[in-house]
Amino acid sequence: MFVTIAVPNLGQTLPKAAHRRQELSSGRARLQSCHTKLRRDRLQPPRYAFLKPSRTLNPHGTYFVTFSTWQRRRLFIVESYVRLFLKTLYGYRRQGRFELHAFVLMPEHVHLLLTPASDMTLERSIQFIKGGYSHALGVELCRKGKVWQRGFTDHRIRDATDFDAHRGYIHENPVKRGLVASSAEYRYCSAFPGFKLDSWPSAAKAA
């Protein structure tokens, strides 16, 4: 007795298999293309990502300002560095860039109470002070490298009480740090006798 066994037609099956492999290969190629595009898109942020955030310009008025030395290094324990900063600060005051009401140079930071000129922004005033001092330090004392931490903090003075409170804070800073017993003893502070300062009432009209 003979049994007939059905043998698949290889001539028909193989082309289908080859076609299936081609489809899979094509699918993988399309998938790879999508992945490549996604990676490329991730590496290319939108145009607005390149725009640097800018500091909002402050309205005109009187300000309590603080800025620090680079990595809070104790720069102002060196007498020549202090003298040069005061020379720079008062030089811009004489030019009419701002009115100066109070200041203190602590070893690693500076507090100022000032009113920019009517045609001068606070940001520009601080740029003059920090940039001018950095330049002078390199030219006159041959000190290279970074001098200041980036930016500064500020508080707009609201009224006479606020003014007195911040001027008092400035003058008491070296006392609280234990550097002197009285603010009038600290030579790098406007409480020390002899410094020329601008009275606030004239500046208060613009605040």
Summary count for the chain: helices (H), strands (E): 5, 4
User: What local confidence, expressed as pLDDT, does residue 57 receive?
Assistant: 66
pLDDT digits (tens, 9 = 90+) for 31-68: 455 454 444 444 344 343 333 344 456 678 999 999 99
Q: The whole model's pTM is what?
A: 0.69
User: What local confidence, expressed as pLDDT, does residue 16 receive?
Assistant: 52
User: What local confidence, expressed as pLDDT, does residue 49 receive?
Assistant: 36
Distance in Å from the first CA to the final CA of the chain: 117
**37 CB-near residues (< 8 Å, 6+ apart):** none
Q: Report the amino acid identity of residue 124.
A: R
User: What local confidence, expressed as pLDDT, does residue 12 receive?
Assistant: 47
Average pLDDT of the segment spanning 146-159:
94
Q: Measured at the alpha carbon of residue 110, what is the angle toward residues 105 and 112, in degrees to the nearest 5?
A: 100
Contact by Cβ (8 Å): 147, 134: yes
**Tokens matching residue 157:** 């003075």
Distances (CA, A) of 124 to 32, 49, 67, 115, 131: 53, 26, 14, 12, 10
Q: Exposed/middle/buried for 93, CB within 10 Å: 0-12, 13-18, 19+?
A: middle
User: What local confidence, expressed as pLDDT, does residue 59 receive?
Assistant: 77
User: What local confidence, expressed as pLDDT, does residue 56 receive?
Assistant: 59
Task: Using pLDDT thresholds of 50, 70 and 90, give the confidence band for residue 143.
Answer: confident
User: What local confidence, expressed as pLDDT, does residue 75 receive?
Assistant: 92
Mean pLDDT, rounded, of the chain: 80
Architecture of domain 63-204: 2-Layer Sandwich (3.30)
Contact by Cβ (8 Å): 152, 69: no
pLDDT digits (tens, 9 = 90+) for 102-129: 999 999 999 999 999 999 999 999 999 9
User: What local confidence, expressed as pLDDT, does residue 50 receive?
Assistant: 35
Per the DSSP assignment, residues forming a β-bridge with 189 are 104
Task: Using pLDDT thresholds of 50, 70 and 90, give the confidence band for residue 200.
Answer: confident
Tell me the C-alpha distance between 65 and 104, whole Å.
11
Task: Using pLDDT thresholds of 50, 70 and 90, give the confidence band for residue 161.
Answer: very high
Average pLDDT of the segment spanning 162-190:
96
* Residue 164 C-beta-side C-alpha neighbours within 13 Å: 3
Average pLDDT of the segment spanning 17-34:
52
pLDDT digits (tens, 9 = 90+) for 68-94: 999 999 999 999 999 999 999 999 999
Contact by Cβ (8 Å): 60, 51: no
